[in-house]
Homo-oligomer: A and B are copies of this chain.
Amino acid sequence: MDMPIRTADEVDLDRLNSALGFLMRLAQLKIYERFFEEVGEHNLKPGEFSVLWVILHNPGIRQSVLGQRLMIKRAHMTKLIRALEDQNLVSRKIPDGDRRAVEITLTPEAVTRVEQASQWFFSYEASVGANLTAGERQQLTALLQKFVGLG
């Protein structure tokens, strides 16, 4: 009365294997796994790197704008920024023009660290999707950009 044993690749997903949400989740998990395997001594999480990178390229950016662009909720952004501040990587300034807002800048120390980490990050990124051809990778990138409205 027991069922025959299935191994993982014998599981029948039926139509689920064409569902974009499902595929996207698997893809992201795969990418994150590799990130943590390879991040080594940089001691950064994916979200931290992207936040620092964007601040580097947009010094004085406001927390709210940063969150909108990276799709990070306000409540969570507060925690991320405070954690970065505790590591002395960012500084906060209340602008005179709007005293509700917070403008974020990298510390000089962080500029160096982010520049170093970015060398690793973008070579890691280039190795993601090594099971695709260069053309396929390029296509996938372009389609995702259009999908999320960045193209």
Q: Is the CB of A11 within 8 A of B61?
A: yes
Question: How near does chain B come to A131, taking the closest CB pair, in angstroms?
Answer: 7
Query: Interface readout for A123-151 with B: 1 if CB under 8 Å, 0 if not?
Result: 00100110110001101110111111110
Question: How near does chain B come to A105, taking the closest CB pair, in angstroms?
Answer: 8
Known contacts A57-B12, A150-B17: does B71 contact A26 (CB below 8 Å)? yes
In this complex, what residue of B is CB-closest to A11? Answer: B69
* A-B contacts besides A8-B65, A15-B122, 14 pairs, CB < 8 Å: A3-B61, A11-B54, A12-B54, A16-B50, A17-B145, A20-B137, A23-B145, A24-B28, A24-B144, A25-B71, A26-B150, A27-B144, A140-B143, A140-B147
